Amino acid sequence: MSARPRTLLAATALAATASLTLGTAPAVSATAQGDGFPHPDLKVTYAATVKYKNEQAALDDGYLRTDVCVEDPQLGGMGYHYVKPALLGSVDPAKPTAMLYEENEKTGKRELVAVEWVVPNTGQPRPQLFDRGFDGPFDFPPVGPHYSLHAWIYKKNPKGVFTPYNPRVTCDCAPETPAPAHP
């Protein structure tokens, strides 16, 4: 994996701190209207997050911008995670923990590609959303042990809507810089 680390550790550490303080415990393409999703509640997710196609709207709503682009040479990328600490632990379809953006090579602007829910692993049963279990548990030091679920509702993932990595997402990262071990 490769990445250009800057503020992901700070954002995820803040998210982990907030969660402790709060005690929060086949490929389908999305259309502009949110049709064609493999689960009907993804329409709820789309309706709640479409405003974040404008990166500034995510920042204004408390999502913390990170400058680490997560990518795996064999699996593909996840992009840049924008984390909202208050939503760590959410399993509400309308309230994902993170927005995932990919930088457009032509414009240099970040474009929304997916959303992600992150739930700390406190020994509870595997979280469920959209009639499926979250991936994990994983241990990413700033967040600690956690489960996650991705939904590629803004950029088609040929591996599936809920697959963590998207082979169509890439990062403009220096190959010698290791990425954090994030799912």
What are the pLDDT digits (tens) for 165-178? 999 999 974 443 44
What's the pTM value of the predicted model, to 2 decimals? 0.77
Given a contact cutoff of 8 angstroms between Cβ atoms, the answer to whether 148 and 138 are in contact is: yes
pLDDT of 15: 39
Residue 165 lies in a domain: no
Residue 158 lies in a domain: no
Residue 176 lies in a domain: no
Residue 157 lies in a domain: no
pLDDT of 4: 39
Residue 170 lies in a domain: no
pLDDT of 40: 92
> Which residues form the domain of 107?
8-151
Chain segment 38-47, per-residue pLDDT in tens: 899 999 999 9
Residue 173 lies in a domain: no
Residue 61 lies in a domain: yes
Residue 181 lies in a domain: no
pLDDT for 27 beyond 50: no
Tally the domains of the chain: 1
